[in-house]
Structure 1
Amino acid sequence: MASVPGPGTGGRRNPYAVRVTNPEAEQVDQAASQRLAKAVRAAEQALIEFEIAVETFRVEVDNFSRLHHQRLGPMYARLDELDALIAEAVAANSGDREDIERAWEARALVMPMPGIEELFEGMLGQDGVRPVEDPNPPRRVRPGKEAQRLYRELARKAHPDLAQDEAEKERRSVFIARVNEAYADADEDRLRELGAEWEAGPVLEEELPTEAEVLYARLEWLAERKEALSVIATDLDGSAIGQMMKLSPDDPDGLLNEIAEQLLEQVGAREARLAELVRPAEG
């Protein structure tokens, strides 16, 4: 829509000038704006789904790591200690210089305090492994199906990336942090309570801006956010725990049990070997 200056106005707006409109151009602009808005909405939903996937994987990696440390860490420590004791027993029996050096090397890896066996007495479990205390251990690596469903529904509804202003984004961020914590604990009741809390909250406007520059800026931000998430996902996938979880992606809890059984067998075998080495000396 344009104003045509009249003669003698020196370029100033003439109140009597005829205003010319181009309905076809306006329709084209409106159609382009609608397509851009649709593209932004699609990009938002794609980003949210990707962020949900990254967060659920992060929870699983974190839970696996904590359970691995709690359940298997003592077994690895016990194996190292048994290796040192076996090497020392072999060196004591043979008196060979190479055996003595190997014993020193094995002991250096463990670096126990004096009287380590006395310190362990009464603190080892029946399997000879000292437990590690975790004040808030996860129930399992992967939360149940219902917890996953509740989490995904809440994340899709209340995700901060849907906010159109900083105040609303902050409110959603605080809420989603509580949702993530409940999901990490596999607390279905708390997730349901959070769902009811969200539904009872203020009704939020879902309309997106129509200005092209704002929409383009939004698309750029979404692309940058996805790139940042991709880096996080790659780091998680390439981590030692992530690589270990690939051995059994469908049952990570079963993988922990399998590794624990293998380690217990190794502990038993080393304890038997140590008993054979020290028995003659005791006799």
Structure 2
Amino acid sequence: MPAEIILQPTPDAAALHQRREQLAAVRAALAERESELAQARAQLKAFEGRYLRQVGVLYAELDDLEARIAEREVDLYDSDAARRRARESRQRARETHDAAFSEAHEAPEFDPPPSLKSLFREVARRIHPDFAADDDERKHLTLLMARANEAYSRGDLDTLQRMLDDHREVNAAIAEEGSSAELLRVDRQIQHATRDIARLDAEERTLLASEISQLHRDAEAAALEDRDLLTELAAGLREQIAGARYRFDFIDRQIAAHGR
């Protein structure tokens, strides 16, 4: 009876198998990082909405009062310094008002330029999940399609162009068939996914360094002590508003007394 022949994988086939496992791992890590960042953005957006409703509107009211005080001081003192303070205070009040009431403003109707529409259609045509060869590829393309949709909604031409360039680079790497060409294609995909993870890490660092993120961390720390930081901030602002109203009335009385 002849001995059983055991075929050993070729070096290229073994390397390709290893690279595909690496690609699957890095794509899984990329999907996890995108999910984590999306959750962090949503959490901060919800907290920012609460902050604007509880605290931001009070800052807007206080800054408007301070601007009105500065404008009345122009009538009282009639100096260049008073006029400069009034201009600066009113500008600050406008900025605070716009920030506090931004959620209440209706978002402008999204009207993407033809260049964005054309680029998005080209990207979608190349990465749509319907073109996937297997379930793993379908999951990856679904992730890419979600990223493309988000970039389109933001008007982000750079991200869409990068996605299209990535697709072209990967496909240009396989001008001929065979395991060597496939190995090159998988290597390019690993490079792209690794780069995207680094990009997400940078975005997360920027997000965590923002003022609203720091305030959110402070609010979470206060909650561990059974305190509501936003309620405390609002209470402090109401006291400042009461003081500003008193000062405004006082200046009005001074102006009336001087006949201005």
Judge conservation of contact 2:23–2:186 (CA < 8 Å) in 1: yes
Counterpart residue number, 2:112? none
Partner residue of 1:216? 187
> 1:164 corresponds to which residue?
137
Q: CA deviation at 1:31?
A: 4.9
Residue in structure 1 matched with residue 145 of structure 2 by the alignment: 173
Matched-pair identity in %: 20
Q: In structure 2, what is the Cα distance between the partners aligned to 1:80 and 1:54?
A: 34
In 2, Cα distance between equivalents of 1:132 and 1:38: 46
Residue 107 of structure 2 corresponds to residue 107 of structure 1: no
Q: CA deviation at 1:108?
A: 0.7
Q: Distance in 2 between matches of 1:175 and 1:40?
A: 18
User: Quick one: structure 1 residues 233 and 133, their matched pair in 2 at CA, closer, same or farther if it must change by over 3 Å?
Assistant: closer
Q: Distance in 1 between matches of 2:185 and 2:254?
A: 83
CA displacement 1:80-115 (0-9 Å, x = unmatched): 23223334555656x4x6xx4443223213449xxx
Q: Distance in 2 between matches of 1:213 and 1:22?
A: 28
Aligned positions of 1:267-278 closer than 5 A: 267-278=241-252
Match of 2:218, SS?
Answer: coil
Residues 1:241 and 2:212 aligned together:
yes
| Number of residue-to-residue matches in the alignment | 188
Q: Deviations over 1:143-194 (max 9, x none)?
A: xxxxxxxxxxxxxxx9x9x86269x82598359979xxxxxxxxxxxxxxxx
Q: Which amino acid aligns with 2:218?
A: L
Higher relative contact order (CA 8 A, sep 6+): 2
> Which structure 2 residues correspond to residues 49-88 of structure 1 after superposition, within 5 A?
49-88=32-71
Mark the structure with the bigger radius of gyration.
Answer: 1
Secondary structure at the aligned position of 2:247 is classed as helix
More helix by share: 2
Q: Equivalents in 1 of 2:188, 2:147: separation in Å? A: 26
Structure 2: tracts of 5 or more residues without a match: 92-99, 107-128, 151-178
Unmatched tracts of structure 1, length 5 or more: 1-20, 113-129, 137-157, 179-209
CA distance in structure 2 between the partners assigned to 1:249 and 1:275 by the alignment:
39
Q: Is the 8 A contact 1:79 1:266 kept in 2?
A: yes
CA distance 1:245–1:164, change in 2 (3 Å): same
- Paired residues for 1:7-22 under 5 Å: none
TM-score, normalised to structure 2's length? 0.52
Cα distance change, pair 131–238 in 1 and its aligned pair in 2 (3 A): closer
2 CA distance for matches of 1:269 and 1:231? Answer: 43
Shift of 1:250: 5.5
Aligned residue number for residue 234 of structure 2: 260
Q: Normalising to structure 1: TM-score of the pair? A: 0.49
Equivalent in the alignment of 2:203: 232
What secondary structure sits across from 1:23 in the alignment? coil
Aligned to 2:104: 134
Shift of residue 264, structure 1, vs aligned partner:
1.9
Q: CA deviation at 1:267?
A: 1.0
